[in-house]
């Protein structure tokens, strides 16, 4: 047995046929850290790091040879990539295999913060889909909003609602991803504190919580819709047993996902229904512990009344959006307070339905504050992939970019080519945010709440 892994866990894993406990213990004792990123192909198509290796099951994922200080990379703050555990990127492979890549569906990430799987869904489902990212814990919702804003697409709604709330949207989503709160044994190598917190009692508690979350939200799936269920736990009670419970209680079928045998991912089958599950062990794959499975709903699901809403005049001057947003005819606009938002026109009705049920923290993209005479552009607009490309902008050096991200005073010499007025700050052709160029100074409008403070 390992010197620090819980004996009760390792004993249970040893009951699995062919499980190599010696290799499992060794990889944890060595404690090697694996760093991986997934690029935002809407903002960049190449990796800015050297000596990277591709994540085999995710065409946008890359392993880094070491862990850099991401805080000092302006492209990180600009949403050009997300630092994500490689095993979790397997969701991209799932979307491709079930035919949902670049689709036009309604999707829900139910337990979304901090946003790793949400940004992945945003990339792979494409701009024609609608993505709702929910986080029940209020304190974690702001981080989720920040990460989705950096990603830059407007087809996203961030909500802060209990999973039970989604039962009021029966038969609405084509895809629901539930990365369920769990006992965390898959993170033992990455976070030592999870070892100290692990217990069989906590496994049981988490299993009960997972069933509650599923029970209260599962009706939100449409017939033939997909449920992607995942945890970062090795415990059967939180993984295969949950699949058996779903298949016993509800009308679902298990969906197998084709694998490359060289990946080292282990296909498992549940006890009662032989449901397919996929386990990631750190001694077999280059990543942390992870479990994921796909189920498809096969019973009819009555839905809610989708009456057409009457839309009142939104108060947004018609010329404002077109001055700042590319292909503005694809978006509807609305005022929230004195701020103008844009949202995909094809989902205008959907937003009204969601507003009636959920607590919405962010919808679409906030393009700026309307003063009655002019628009004061927002940081969200600077991050957006929908911003017009011919707006005034200044390319800056790394040093100037970091000054900007720290919200420090800026050197007028770095903006000699910029005209007076609003100007985008760009680093390696990617927008970082706004400044206002004045005759004798540069006003830095980078948001105080996301500025670099620890370096």
When the pLDDT of each residue in the chain is averaged and rounded to a whole number, the result is 95
CA angle in degrees (0–180, nearest 5) for 330-332-337: 150
Query: What per-residue confidence (pLDDT) applies to 387?
Result: 98
What positions carry a catalytic annotation?
232
Assess whether pLDDT exceeds 70 at residue 312: no
Q: Give one DSSP letter per residue of 315-334, joined into a string.
A: ---HHHHHHHBTTGGGEEEE
Rounded to 10 deg, the angle between the 21-30 and 7-14 helix axes is 140
Q: Are 121 and 131 within 8 A, CB to CB?
A: yes
- Distances from the Cα of 27 to the Cαs of 6, 32, 38, 195, 397, in angstroms? 15, 7, 24, 15, 41
Report the C-alpha gap between 426 and 405 in whole angstroms.
Answer: 11
Assess whether pLDDT exceeds 70 at residue 455: no
Assess whether pLDDT exceeds 60 at residue 1: no
Residue 442 lies in a domain: yes
Query: What per-residue confidence (pLDDT) applies to 309?
Result: 73
Torsion of CA 425, 430, 431, 435, to 10 degrees: 0
Domain harbouring 412, CATH code: 3.10.450.720
Average pLDDT, stretch 299-323? 83
Report the C-alpha gap between 337 and 412 in whole angstroms.
Answer: 34
Average pLDDT, stretch 119-145? 97
- Distances from the Cα of 160 to the Cαs of 143, 218, 342, 417, in angstroms? 12, 18, 20, 43
Q: Which domain holds residue 413?
A: 392-455
Residue 72 lies in a domain: no
Torsion of CA 159, 162, 167, 169, to 10 degrees: -10
Residue 408 lies in a domain: yes
Specify binding-site residues for S-adenosyl-L-methionine. Answer: 111-117, 135, 162, 179
Q: What is the pTM of this model?
A: 0.96
Exposure of 322 in the CB half-sphere (CA atoms within 13 A):
4
Specify binding-site residues. Answer: 111-117, 135, 162, 179
Residue 343 — very low, low, confident or very high, per pLDDT cuts 50/70/90?
A: very high
Average pLDDT, stretch 27-50? 92
Counted domains in the chain: 1
Residue 366 lies in a domain: no
The sign of the CA dihedral 203, 204, 206, 207 is: positive
Average pLDDT, stretch 155-180? 97
Assess whether pLDDT exceeds 60 at residue 2: no
- Maximum CA pair distance of the chain? 74
Residue 244 lies in a domain: no
Q: Give one DSSP letter per residue of 352-385, joined into a string.
A: HHHHHHS-EEEESEEEEEE-SS-EEE-HHHHH-T
Residue 455 lies in a domain: yes
Pairing of the two strands 130-134 and 360-363: unpaired
Report the C-alpha gap between 263 and 284 in whole angstroms.
Answer: 8
Pairing of the two strands 106-109 and 173-179: parallel
Residue 191 — very low, low, confident or very high, per pLDDT cuts 50/70/90?
A: confident
Report the C-alpha gap between 86 and 62 in whole angstroms.
Answer: 8
Q: What is the pLDDT of residues 210-259, one digit of tens each?
A: 999 999 999 999 999 999 999 999 999 999 999 999 999 999 999 999 99
Which two three-digit tokens encode residue 9? 């866990």
Q: Are 37 and 84 within 8 A, CB to CB?
A: yes
Residue 231 lies in a domain: no
Q: What is the pLDDT of residues 86-117, one digit of tens each?
A: 999 999 999 999 999 999 999 999 999 999 99
Which residues are bridge partners to 158 per DSSP? 133, 362
Residue 440 lies in a domain: yes
Query: What per-residue confidence (pLDDT) applies to 45?
Result: 84
Average pLDDT, stretch 301-317? 80
**371 or 307: which leads in pLDDT:** 371
Q: Are 6 and 195 within 8 A, CB to CB?
A: yes
Q: Are 325 and 367 within 8 A, CB to CB?
A: yes
Report the C-alpha gap between 159 and 358 in whole angstroms.
Answer: 7
Pairing of the two strands 375-377 and 365-370: antiparallel
């Amino acid at each position: 047995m390992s010197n620090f892994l819980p004996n009760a866990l390792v004993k249970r894993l040893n009951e699995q046929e062919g499980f190599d406990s010696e290799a499992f213990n060794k990889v944890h004792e060595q404690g090697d850290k694996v760093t991986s990123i997934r690029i935002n192909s809407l903002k960049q198509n190449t990796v800015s790091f050297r000596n990277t290796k591709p994540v085999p099951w995710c065409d946008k994922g890359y392993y880094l040879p070491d862990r850099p200080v991401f805080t000092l990379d302006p492209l990180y703050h600009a949403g050009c990539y997300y630092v994500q555990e490689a095993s979790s990127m397997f969701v991209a492979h799932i979307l491709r295999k079930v035919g949902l890549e670049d689709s036009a569906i309604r999707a829900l990430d139910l337990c979304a913060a901090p946003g790793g799987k949400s940004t992945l869904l945003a990339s792979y489902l494409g701009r024609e889909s609608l993505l709702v990212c929910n986080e029940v814990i209020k304190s974690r919702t702001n981080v989720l909003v920040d990460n989705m804003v950096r990603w830059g697409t407007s087809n996203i709604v961030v909500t802060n609602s209990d999973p039970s709330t989604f039962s009021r949207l029966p038969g609405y989503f084509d895809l629901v991803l539930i990365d369920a709160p769990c006992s965390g044994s898959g993170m033992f190598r990455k976070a030592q504190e999870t070892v100290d917190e692990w217990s069989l009692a906590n496994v049981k508690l988490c299993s009960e919580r997972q069933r509650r979350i599923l029970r209260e939200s599962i009706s939100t799936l449409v017939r033939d819709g997909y449920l992607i269920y995942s945890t970062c736990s090795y415990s059967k009670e939180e993984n295969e047993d949950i699949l058996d419970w779903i298949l016993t209680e509800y009308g679902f079928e298990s969906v197998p996902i084709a694998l490359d045998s060289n990946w080292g991912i282990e296909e498992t089958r549940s006890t009662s229904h032989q449901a397919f599950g996929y386990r990631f062990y750190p001694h077999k794959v280059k990543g942390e512990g992870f479990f994921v499975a796909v189920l498809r709903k096969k019973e009819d699901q009555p839905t809610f009344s989708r009456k057409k809403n009457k839309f009142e005049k939104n108060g947004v001057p018609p010329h404002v959006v077109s001055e700042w947003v590319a292909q503005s005819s694809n978006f509807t606009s609305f005022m929230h307070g004195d701020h103008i938002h844009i949202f995909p026109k094809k989902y205008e009705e959907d937003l009204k339905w969601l507003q009636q049920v959920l607590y919405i923290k962010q919808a679409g993209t906030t393009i700026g504050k309307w003063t009655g005479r002019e628009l004061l552009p927002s940081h969200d607009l600077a991050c957006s992939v929908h911003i017009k490309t011919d707006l005034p902008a200044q390319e800056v050096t790394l040093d100037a970019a970091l000054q900007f991200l720290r919200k420090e005073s800026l050197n007028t010499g770095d903006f000699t080519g910029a005209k007076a007025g609003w100007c985008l700050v760009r680093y390696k052709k990617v927008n970082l945010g706004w400044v206002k160029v004045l005759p004798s100074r540069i006003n830095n409008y980078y948001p105080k709440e996301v500025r670099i403070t620890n370096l």
